[in-house]
């Protein structure tokens, strides 16, 4: 079982976490439908290092993790406000 | 007539009222507790004269033996009688600070006995041994597949934990604990058996 | 029962005698015996029958490395007699024989072995396909392992988490040295060993030193987990360990793998007979249990191990007839020199070429000169013997390293680790350091490195040189024209089977494994894969290194379902009124993790009676499972505006409004009610199953938006009931409330906070059932008191508790939809008539962009109410299809017989063209017949909604 370091709770078994998808900017409310469709449906699924949303389930705490999706190595984790300024 | 408040846990009527078993557990669910949450919470609680733990997942005891647990940067769990805070609070007086109904959302189970960490290791994946999880430390984690708050505390002079978990599953959790503690000669006890030194205040209505 | 005198037999307690049963016969044993050691002590070398040919088999490794000695103990199948401890009165049976173990008529299969080629199942039984139906049970019966006892009582299994700085796997010389070194550096060490007692080869090898346990004295930082098997080494040093009926999950900061070596089998004709054993097995049997497995022995050697075994046999008084050394010349090792000095007959360049059987065990071996790789000259001598000890090489036990992702290289005819993941270290013979001295030095090195890796300061001693050259024979495989040279004892795979598989085209290691079944047996080929690789390499004309290592996956050994299941944790959520439901005869049903009453009592009309009570008098339902969220703060209204489709900014304090949530694709995901209790406070309800998702979504969005709002999940904190029916107001008044509940003061969709029966409550004038109703939410610990107060107050009004089933009918009569039942994973609000709850002209809400796109397209379906044209025929069920011109046109989502209307009503998706009231469509019901339905406006009952607003 992998370990993930939660910015609030410290290192925990990965079973305490839920995946929340890639971090990506939300389109403007009035953006064209195509832009929204890309946001909602299109996932690049590229190998390499991604920023992802993760949830620590027991505390309902959302944070951001940097993960190499090729090797499944978790590189670093951040409070959301450290990334989304 | 005062309406009757009822724990969700059915405790045996005479749970081991003699000397304290090697590992003892009591249902504290009817004892007072309270929570506050929100970006303005730390400021408001400090303004009310509480000394707060500096970091999340730490707890401190105040001079009345009440336990102040910091669950995150802006969330606090207060074990003991904090009725004064409750009446001082309003949307207007406590900006961005919101009370949480912890008395009713969570059951409160207290465990005492030096085998407590070993027993918890059967149902919890966090290392709770005393030298790794000192008194006052908090783990918000999974216990017997439930979300739970575990707080290390010395109870009746022995290693122990406060365990707070969703009230709707508290009977299930109680049963799991009864099962897990059997091999350590553990048993449920009446609340008073563990309340003596851990929390001096009188039993209060929520 | 004959035993060697002490100090042989160090694991048995000769003062304690036991007896057990094998195949219906009683055998004496000592405390500390395994079933295999005790049977051999009693001269019983035949323990079971082989998987395919039913050949006689006995203990081969005395360590459970193979499936040769699998037995059934009571209701537990497939246990290795090598490791199964004797208990008094234990009932043991052999596996896989017909008739009796000594005369198994299943062995006739062997005579037909020519007809059982590799890939036998593939070739023979799959065409015609129907044939498999006939052959499968026959084959399953013939090729069996133990029997599962379906009547066996469930044993108690559980799990435990363990923690350590350094985990050391294997307490042999290297593991012990590693554990001590890591502990010296200050690390907390967990030392895990699978044997009866720690020490590994120190216990049984010639030259091992006596008291392994003494080394650990005075080291409290070392915890010992004995008789425990490490089944897997997973990511981030997570170990799965089985001991007794408990599964341990150990998390360490670093791991030392000191799992040692297996000994390599020798492949020749009849190499599987009881009496042919690994040399280490012979040494274990003698030193650990005081058992000599024969009287006249031949040793097949290719290294010093063979000479050590021969000397041990001589010391134990066994007649060693000869050592057949496969090598042309032997090294001048100390054991070889001693053997020569003691006058042993040593034959160089010679191998056993065939073993001879008498009465189900070894009676002699024929020896032949080795002429080249796998080639022999004519048999020059037959030696009568009842024991052949095989010492032709080592196989590093790299399984756990493989789990961790280590890389290996072929060196000295063995696969040795070259690249290890961070925090994992190999030590001792698994790392190619075979001699006692080298293993201990390597253990020290690995222990120091592991402590360092776990954050302790330690000086790292230099790595000893690997001393593994010349230990493993490159080709201990000798084909015989008549076959029966077993490469894989588990699966009865012969040399020709491997060769034939390759010739059939299965020349990749993974394909060959499945086709030949080699490595598919209970021991997963631990002892046999190196030979399979050699044979593959030769057939392909490459080196074994080029074949590559096969990936060894968890678990290392057999695992019971009990271990995986453990204690079984299935949380059950109960409401505050649970006890009352049971007292009232509630028939409970699961709703997610919750238990809810479906209906009350045994009456077959119970549901209909509950429905009538609500329509005509008053009913009470426990709705505590409804999700509850407190959304508070200056931005609370603005936050809800962004999440839900309707508008809440102008909702007055003291009023409630429907909420509908879509995801970003515009699909409806949840609904409920938002009650404004304060300018800054909304109490939002959500569906029982949806609230966790809604809460997560809210938290996630606010992690990005960072509005001045706080969201709290308060589902469990409130017990709630719906008091519904024309007499609800009277009951509530009688129960006593501080709130003015008159129609004028608290109209439909009004919300008040106040006292009910002395309890602080949130009163919401809403309802799902279309009658005058109050949803009353109180702090959970007062739920039972509230229930009691209302039931008592309602007595004079004929109050009746009602369950989920009655509620479903009541809401269907009103045409209310249930998200998830009347909607699916593609349903948007316009398909289900929710247009009124969607304010498209808001600046933003979740799903708005997608709904805009939906509005630009023609709708494809509509949810409509329907009535059956004929109530007396077969009734449709949920998910029955609407059929139009033989094509699927829609489906039924809800259907029930309405007590209020006396008709069958339902909701269904139909094409837009069929959605007008009065349109007809066909539904295909069970059995395929079609029933007619007519689209009907909803609500079916009280179409003007007057009753809920009374």
Nearest residue to C291 via CA among C526, C43, C77: C43
Question: Which whole-number Å values give the CA distances from C387 to C9, C292, C940, in the listed order?
Answer: 19, 10, 89
Cα angle C863, C865, C871 (rounded to 5 degrees) comes to: 135
Cα–Cα distance measured from residue B183 to residue B203, given in angstroms and rounded to the nearest whole number: 32
* C574 contacts B169? CB cut-off 8 A: yes
- A33 interfacial to chain C (CB closer than 8 Å): yes
Q: What tens digit of pLDDT does each residue of C224-253 get?
A: 999 999 999 999 999 999 999 999 999 999
Cα–Cα distance measured from residue C487 to residue C482, given in angstroms and rounded to the nearest whole number: 15
pLDDT at B200: 42
Q: Residue C651 pLDDT > 90, yes or no?
A: yes
DSSP reduced 3-state for C12:
coil
DSSP C32-58: T-BHHHHHHHTT----EE-TTT--EE-
pLDDT at C150: 86
Considering only CB atoms, which chain B residues are within 8 Å of C714?
A: 100-101, 105
Cα–Cα distance measured from residue B121 to residue B125, given in angstroms and rounded to the nearest whole number: 6
- B171 interfacial to chain A (CB closer than 8 Å): no
Nearest residue to C874 via CA among C934, C834, C925: C925
Considering the domain architecture, whether residues C608 and C753 belong to the same structural domain is answered as yes
Task: Give me the residues of B, 106-165, that contact C with CB < 8 A.
Answer: 106, 121-125, 127, 129, 132, 144-146
* A57 contacts B142? CB cut-off 8 A: yes
Q: Residue C548 pLDDT > 80, yes or no?
A: no
**Count of the separate structural domains present in chain C:** 6
pLDDT at B15: 62
- In which region does residue C326 sit, left (phi positive, over 0), alpha (psi from -120 to 50) or beta (all else)? alpha
DSSP reduced 3-state for C792:
helix
Beta strands in C170-245 (DSSP E): 189-192, 222-225, 229-234, 238-243
Across the interface, of C236, C699, C849, the residue whose CB is closest to A62 is C699
Cα–Cα distance measured from residue C193 to residue C696, given in angstroms and rounded to the nearest whole number: 44
The answer to whether position C458 is within a domain reads: no
- Compare all CA atoms of chain C with the CA of A61 and give the residue at the minimum distance: C699
Q: How many pairs of residues across A and C have Cβ atoms under 8 Å apart? A: 55
The answer to whether the CB of C43 falls within 8 A of the CB of C99 is no
Cα–Cα distance measured from residue C661 to residue C645, given in angstroms and rounded to the nearest whole number: 6
Mention the CATH class of domain A3-26+47-83: alpha beta
ipTM over 0.90: yes
pLDDT at C122: 66
Considering only CB atoms, which chain C residues are within 8 Å of A29?
A: 843-844, 848-849
Across the interface, of C235, C238, C853, the residue whose CB is closest to A33 is C853
Q: How confident is the model at residue C825 (pLDDT cuts 50, 70, 90)?
A: very high
Considering the domain architecture, whether residues C501 and C534 belong to the same structural domain is answered as yes
Considering the domain architecture, whether residues C381 and C423 belong to the same structural domain is answered as no
Considering only CB atoms, which chain B residues are within 8 Å of C632?
A: 38, 91, 98
Q: How confident is the model at residue C207 (pLDDT cuts 50, 70, 90)?
A: confident
All domains in chain B, ordered by first residue: 23-31+103-198 (3.30.1360.120), 33-101 (3.30.70)
- B91 interfacial to chain C (CB closer than 8 Å): yes
Question: Which whole-number Å values give the CA distances from B50 to A54, B151, C506, in the listed order?
Answer: 33, 19, 74
- Rounded to a whole number of angstroms, the distance between the first and last alpha carbons of chain C is 93
DSSP reduced 3-state for B157:
coil
DSSP C374: T
Considering only CB atoms, which chain A residues are within 8 Å of B140?
A: 9, 56, 58-59
What are chain A's partners, defined as 3 or more CB pairs within 8 angstroms?
A: B, C
Q: How confident is the model at residue C144 (pLDDT cuts 50, 70, 90)?
A: low
The answer to whether the CB of C717 falls within 8 A of the CB of B101 is yes
Cα–Cα distance measured from residue C855 to residue C857, given in angstroms and rounded to the nearest whole number: 5
Q: How confident is the model at residue B199 (pLDDT cuts 50, 70, 90)?
A: very low
Cα–Cα distance measured from residue C288 to residue C277, given in angstroms and rounded to the nearest whole number: 16
Q: What tens digit of pLDDT does each residue of C77-109 get?
A: 899 999 999 999 999 999 878 778 888 877 777
* B96 contacts C708? CB cut-off 8 A: yes
Across the interface, of C238, C844, C849, the residue whose CB is closest to A33 is C849
**Nearest-CA distance C646 → chain A (Å):** 16
Query: Which H or E run contains C278?
Result: strand C276-278
Q: Is the peptide bond before A63 cis (omega within 30 degrees of 0)?
A: no
* C848 contacts A60? CB cut-off 8 A: no
Across the interface, of A3, A29, A53, the residue whose CB is closest to C236 is A3
Q: What is the CATH number of the domain that holds C496?
A: 1.10.10
Number of residues in chain B: 206
pLDDT at C140: 67
Q: Alpha-carbon torsion C234, C238, C243, C246, what sign?
A: negative
**Torsion angle (degrees, nearest 10) of CA C654, C657, C661, C667:** 180
* B141 contacts A61? CB cut-off 8 A: no
DSSP reduced 3-state for B130:
coil
Considering the domain architecture, whether residues C387 and C428 belong to the same structural domain is answered as no
Choose the mutation target among B37, B75, B140, B148 for the interface with A, i.e. most A CBs under 10 Å: B140
Residues of chain A whose C-beta is under 8 A from some C-beta in B?
Answer: 8-10, 12-13, 15-16, 56-59, 61
pLDDT at B202: 36
Lowest mean pLDDT, pick from B13-22, B85-94, C301-310: B13-22
Q: What is the CATH number of the domain that holds C935?
A: 2.40.30.110
* A36 contacts C850? CB cut-off 8 A: yes
The answer to whether the CB of C856 falls within 8 A of the CB of C888 is no
Considering only CB atoms, which chain A residues are within 8 Å of C713?
A: 60
Considering only CB atoms, which chain A residues are within 8 Å of C850?
A: 36-37, 40
The answer to whether position C143 is within a domain reads: no
Residue B114 in tokens = 């030096």
- Compare all CA atoms of chain C with the CA of B122 and give the residue at the minimum distance: C160
Across the interface, of C571, C575, C782, the residue whose CB is closest to B146 is C571
* C572 contacts B98? CB cut-off 8 A: no
Under 8 Å CB-to-CB from C184, ≥6 apart: which residues? C451, C458
Beta strands in C443-499 (DSSP E): 486-488, 493-494
- Rounded to a whole number of angstroms, the distance between the first and last alpha carbons of chain B is 15
The answer to whether the CB of C741 falls within 8 A of the CB of C733 is yes
Q: Residue B134 pLDDT > 80, yes or no?
A: yes
DSSP reduced 3-state for C701:
helix
Residue C613 in tokens = 């009570």
Nearest residue to B163 via CA among B117, B202, B200, B132: B117
* C572 contacts B172? CB cut-off 8 A: yes
Domain holding C676, by residue range, is 627-713
Considering the domain architecture, whether residues C729 and C668 belong to the same structural domain is answered as no
* B123 contacts C717? CB cut-off 8 A: no
Q: What is the CATH number of the domain that holds C676?
A: 3.30.70.1400
Give me the residue label for tokens 């170990």: C239
Considering the domain architecture, whether residues C654 and C703 belong to the same structural domain is answered as yes
Cα–Cα distance measured from residue C897 to residue C902, given in angstroms and rounded to the nearest whole number: 7
Q: What tens digit of pLDDT does each residue of C469-521 get?
A: 999 999 999 999 999 999 999 999 999 999 999 999 998 888 898 889 888 88
Q: In the beta sheet, which residues pair with residue C493?
A: C488
Parallel/antiparallel/unpaired status of strands C586-591 and C594-600: antiparallel
Task: Output the average pLDDT for chain C.
Answer: 94
DSSP C156: P
Residue C837 in tokens = 């709850």
Q: What is the CATH number of the domain that holds C227?
A: 3.50.50.60
**Nearest-CA distance C852 → chain A (Å):** 8
Q: What tens digit of pLDDT does each residue of C576-633 get?
A: 999 999 999 999 999 999 999 999 999 999 999 999 999 999 999 999 999 999 999 9
Query: Which H or E run contains C134?
Result: helix C129-142
What are chain C's partners, defined as 3 or more CB pairs within 8 angstroms?
A: A, B
Question: Which whole-number Å values give the CA distances from C652 to C304, C675, C679, C803, in the listed order?
Answer: 92, 9, 8, 33
Considering the domain architecture, whether residues C704 and C727 belong to the same structural domain is answered as no
DSSP C824: -
pLDDT at B14: 67
Q: Residue B101 pLDDT > 70, yes or no?
A: yes
Give buried/exposed letters for C747-777 (b at 16+ CB in 10 A, else e). Answer: eebbbbbeebbbbebbbbbbbbbbbbbbbbb
Mean pLDDT of A36-58: 93
What are chain B's partners, defined as 3 or more CB pairs within 8 angstroms?
A: A, C
Considering only CB atoms, which chain C residues are within 8 Å of B122?
A: 158-161, 567
Residue B162 in tokens = 């406060």
Across the interface, of B123, B171, B206, the residue whose CB is closest to C779 is B206
Considering the domain architecture, whether residues C269 and C364 belong to the same structural domain is answered as yes
**Nearest-CA distance B200 → chain C (Å):** 23
- Rounded to a whole number of angstroms, the distance between the first and last alpha carbons of chain A is 33
Q: Residue B159 pLDDT > 60, yes or no?
A: yes
Cα–Cα distance measured from residue C287 to residue C265, given in angstroms and rounded to the nearest whole number: 21
* B57 contacts A13? CB cut-off 8 A: no
The answer to whether position C778 is within a domain reads: yes
Considering only CB atoms, which chain A residues are within 8 Å of B132?
A: none
Task: Give me the residues of B, 163-182, that contact C with CB < 8 A.
Answer: 166-169, 171-173, 176, 179
Considering the domain architecture, whether residues C746 and C863 belong to the same structural domain is answered as no
The answer to whether the CB of B144 falls within 8 A of the CB of B175 is no
Across the interface, of A2, A3, A36, the residue whose CB is closest to C849 is A36
Report the 3 state secondary structure along C863-902.
EEEEEECCCCCCCCCCCCEEEECCEEEEEEEEEEEECCCC
Q: How many pairs of residues across A and B have Cβ atoms under 8 Å apart? A: 31
Q: What tens digit of pLDDT does each residue of B54-87 get?
A: 999 999 999 999 999 999 999 999 999 999 999 9
Residue C631 in tokens = 């959304």
DSSP B2: P
Cα–Cα distance measured from residue C485 to residue C478, given in angstroms and rounded to the nearest whole number: 8
- Compare all CA atoms of chain A with the CA of C706 and give the residue at the minimum distance: A81
- Compare all CA atoms of chain C with the CA of B99 and give the residue at the minimum distance: C712
φ and ψ of B111, to 5 deg? -120, 135
Q: What tens digit of pLDDT does each residue of C863-873 get?
A: 999 999 988 88
Mean pLDDT of C550-566: 88
* C781 contacts B101? CB cut-off 8 A: no
The answer to whether position C341 is within a domain reads: yes
The answer to whether the CB of C661 falls within 8 A of the CB of C846 is yes
Residue C584 in tokens = 């009232």
Considering the domain architecture, whether residues C236 and C381 belong to the same structural domain is answered as no
Nearest residue to B194 via CA among B115, B135, B111: B111
Q: What is the CATH number of the domain that holds C305?
A: 3.10.20.440
Considering the domain architecture, whether residues C614 and C755 belong to the same structural domain is answered as yes
The answer to whether position C786 is within a domain reads: yes
Mean pLDDT of C805-812: 97
The answer to whether the CB of C493 falls within 8 A of the CB of C487 is yes
* A39 contacts C664? CB cut-off 8 A: yes
Q: Residue C11 pLDDT > 50, yes or no?
A: yes
For the ranges C36-40, C515-519, C551-555, C559-563, the maximum mean pLDDT occurs at C36-40
Q: Count CA atoms closer than 13 A to C206's CA, side-chain side.
A: 21
The answer to whether position C165 is within a domain reads: yes
Question: Which whole-number Å values give the CA distances from C50 to C69, C268, C501, C538, C920, in the listed order?
Answer: 9, 17, 21, 27, 69
Parallel/antiparallel/unpaired status of strands C361-372 and C594-600: unpaired
**Nearest-CA distance C161 → chain A (Å):** 12
* A8 contacts B72? CB cut-off 8 A: yes
Considering only CB atoms, which chain B residues are within 8 Å of C681?
A: 91
Cα–Cα distance measured from residue B82 to residue B105, given in angstroms and rounded to the nearest whole number: 17
Cα–Cα distance measured from residue B70 to residue B160, given in angstroms and rounded to the nearest whole number: 18
- B165 interfacial to chain A (CB closer than 8 Å): no
The answer to whether the CB of C804 falls within 8 A of the CB of C615 is no
Considering the domain architecture, whether residues C226 and C280 belong to the same structural domain is answered as no
Q: What tens digit of pLDDT does each residue of B136-156 get?
A: 999 999 999 999 999 999 999
pLDDT at C121: 66
């Amino acid at each position: 079982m992998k370990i993930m370091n939660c910015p609030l709770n410290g290192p925990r078994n990965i079973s305490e976490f839920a995946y929340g998808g890639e971090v990506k900017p939300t389109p403007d409310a009035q953006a064209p439908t195509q832009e929204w469709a890309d946001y909602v449906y299109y996932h690049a699924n590229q190998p390499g290092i991604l920023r992802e949303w993760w949830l620590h389930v027991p505390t309902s705490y959302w944070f951001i993790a940097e993960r190499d999706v090729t090797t499944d190595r978790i590189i670093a984790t951040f409070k959301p406000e450290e990334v989304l300024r | 007539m005062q309406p009757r408040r009822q724990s969700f846990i059915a405790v045996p009527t005479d749970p081991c009222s003699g000397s304290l078993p090697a590992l003892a557990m009591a249902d504290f669910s009817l004892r007072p507790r309270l929570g506050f949450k929100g970006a303005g919470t730390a400021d408001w609680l400090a303004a009310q004269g509480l000394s707060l733990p500096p970091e999340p997942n730490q707890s401190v005891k105040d001079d009345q033996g009440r336990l102040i647990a910091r669950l995150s940067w802006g969330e606090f769990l207060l074990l003991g009688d904090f009725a004064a805070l409750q009446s001082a609070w309003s949307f207007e007086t406590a900006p961005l600070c919101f009370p949480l109904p912890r008395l009713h959302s969570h059951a409160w189970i207290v465990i005492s006995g030096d085998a407590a960490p070993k027993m918890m290791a059967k149902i919890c994946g966090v290392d709770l041994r005393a030298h790794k999880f000192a008194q006052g430390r908090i783990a918000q984690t999974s216990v017997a597949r439930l979300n739970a708050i575990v707080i290390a505390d010395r109870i009746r002079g022995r290693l122990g934990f406060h365990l707070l978990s969703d009230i709707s599953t508290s009977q299930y959790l109680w049963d799991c604990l009864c099962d897990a503690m059997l091999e350590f000669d553990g048993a449920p006890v009446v609340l008073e058996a563990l309340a003596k030194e851990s929390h001096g205040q009188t039993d209060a209505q929520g | 029962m004959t035993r060697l005198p002490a100090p042989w037999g160090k694991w048995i307690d000769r003062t304690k005698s036991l007896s057990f049963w094998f195949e219906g016969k009683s055998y004496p044993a000592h405390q500390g015996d395994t079933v295999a050691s005790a049977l051999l002590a009693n001269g019983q070398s035949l323990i079971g029958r082989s998987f395919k040919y039913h050949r006689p088999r006995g203990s081969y490794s005395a360590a459970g490395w193979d499936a040769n000695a699998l037995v059934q103990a009571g209701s537990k199948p497939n246990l290795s007699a090598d490791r199964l401890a004797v208990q008094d009165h234990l009932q043991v049976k052999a596996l896989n024989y017909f008739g009796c173990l000594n005369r198994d008529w299943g062995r006739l299969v062997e005579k037909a072995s020519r007809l059982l080629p590799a890939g036998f199942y593939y070739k023979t039984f799959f065409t015609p396909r129907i044939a498999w139906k006939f052959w499968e049970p026959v084959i399953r019966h013939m090729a069996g392992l133990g029997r599962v006892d379906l009547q066996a009582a469930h044993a108690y299994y559980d799990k435990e988490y363990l923690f350590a700085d350094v985990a050391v796997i294997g307490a042999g010389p290297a593991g012990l040295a590693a554990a001590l070194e890591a502990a010296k550096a200050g690390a907390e060490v967990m030392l895990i060993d699978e044997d009866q007692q720690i020490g590994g080869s120190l216990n049984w090898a010639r030259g091992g030193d006596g008291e392994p346990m003494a080394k650990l004295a005075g080291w409290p930082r070392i915890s010992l987990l004995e008789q425990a098997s490490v089944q897997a080494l997973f990511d981030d040093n997570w170990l799965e360990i089985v001991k007794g009926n408990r599964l341990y999950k150990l998390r360490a900061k670093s791991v030392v793998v000191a799992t040692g070596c297996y000994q390599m089998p020798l492949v020749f004709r009849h190499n599987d007979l009881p009496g042919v054993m690994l040399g280490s097995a012979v040494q274990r049997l003698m030193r650990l249990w005081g058992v000599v497995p024969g009287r006249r022995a031949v040793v097949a050697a290719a290294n010093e191990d063979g000479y050590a075994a021969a000397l041990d046999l001589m010391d134990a008084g066994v007649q060693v007839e000869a050592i057949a050394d496969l090598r042309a010349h032997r090294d001048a090792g100390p054991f070889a020199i001693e053997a020569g000095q003691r006058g042993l007959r040593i034959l160089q360049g010679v191998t056993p070429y065939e073993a001879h059987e008498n009465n189900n065990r070894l009676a002699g071996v024929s020896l032949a000169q080795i002429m080249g790789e796998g080639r022999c000259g004519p048999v020059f001598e037959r030696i009568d013997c009842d024991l052949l000890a095989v010492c032709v090489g080592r196989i590093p036990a790299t399984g756990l390293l493989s789990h961790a992702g280590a890389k290996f290289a072929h060196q000295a005819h063995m696969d040795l680790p070259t690249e290890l993941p961070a925090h994992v270290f190999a030590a001792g013979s698994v790392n190619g350091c075979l001699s006692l001295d080298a293993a201990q030095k390597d253990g020290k090195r690995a222990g120091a490195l592991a402590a360092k890796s776990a954050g302790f300061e330690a000086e790292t001693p230099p790595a000893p040189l690997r001393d593994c050259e010349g230990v493993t024979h490159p080709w201990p495989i000798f084909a015989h024209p008549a076959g029966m040279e077993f490469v894989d004892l588990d699966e009865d795979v012969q040399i020709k089977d491997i060769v034939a598989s390759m010739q059939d085209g299965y020349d990749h290691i993974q394909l060959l494994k499945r086709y030949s079944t080699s490595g598919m047996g209970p021991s997963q080929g631990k002892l046999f894969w190196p030979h399979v690789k050699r044979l593959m390499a030769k057939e392909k004309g490459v080196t074994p290194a080029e074949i590559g290592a096969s990936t060894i996956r968890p678990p290392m050994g057999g695992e019971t379902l009990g271990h995986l299941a453990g204690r079984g944790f299935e949380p059950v959520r109960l409401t505050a009124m649970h006890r009352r439901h049971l007292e009232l005869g509630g028939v409970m049903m699961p709703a997610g993790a919750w238990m809810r009453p479906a209906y009350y009592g045994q009456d077959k009309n119970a549901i209909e009676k509950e429905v009538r009570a609500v329509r005509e008098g008053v009913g009470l339902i426990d709705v505590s499972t409804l999700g509850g969220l407190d959304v508070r703060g200056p931005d609370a209204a603005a936050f809800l505006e962004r999440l839900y489709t309707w508008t809440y900014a102008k909702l007055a304090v003291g009023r409630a409004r429907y909420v509908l949530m879509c995801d970003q694709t515009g699909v409806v995901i949840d609904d409920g009610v938002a009650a404004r209790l304060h300018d800054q406070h909304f109490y939002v309800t959500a569906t029982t199953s949806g609230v966790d998702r809604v809460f997560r979504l809210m938290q996630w969005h606010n992690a990005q938006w960072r509005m001045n709002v706080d969201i709290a999940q308060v589902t469990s904190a409130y017990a709630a009931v719906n008091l519904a029916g024309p007499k609800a107001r009277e009951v509530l008044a009688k129960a006593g409330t501080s709130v003015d509940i008159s129609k004028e003061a608290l109209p439909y969709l009004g919300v008040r906070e106040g006292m009910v029966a002395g309890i602080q409550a949130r009163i919401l004038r809403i309802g799902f059932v279309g009658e005058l109703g109050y949803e009353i939410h109180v702090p959970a610990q007062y739920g039972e008191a509230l229930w009691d107060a209302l039931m008592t107050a309602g007595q004079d009004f004929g109050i009746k508790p009602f369950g989920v089933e009655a509620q479903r009918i009541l809401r269907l009569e009103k045409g209310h939809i249930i998200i998830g039942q009347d909607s699916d994973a593609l349903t948007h609000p316009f398909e289900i008539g929710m247009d009124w709850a969607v304010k498209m002209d808001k600046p933003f809400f979740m799903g708005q962009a997608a709904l805009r796109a939906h509005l630009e397209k023609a709708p494809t379906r509509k949810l409509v109410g329907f009535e059956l044209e004929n109530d007396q025929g077969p009734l449709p069920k949920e998910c029955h299809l609407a059929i139009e011109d033989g094509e699927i046109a829609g489906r039924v989502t809800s259907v029930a017989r309405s007590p209020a209307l006396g008709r069958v009503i339902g909701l269904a998706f139909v094409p837009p063209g069929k959605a007008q009231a009065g349109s007809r469509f066909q539904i295909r019901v069970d059995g395929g017949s079609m029933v007619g339905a007519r689209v009907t406006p909803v609500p079916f009952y009280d179409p003007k909604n007057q009753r809920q607003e009374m």
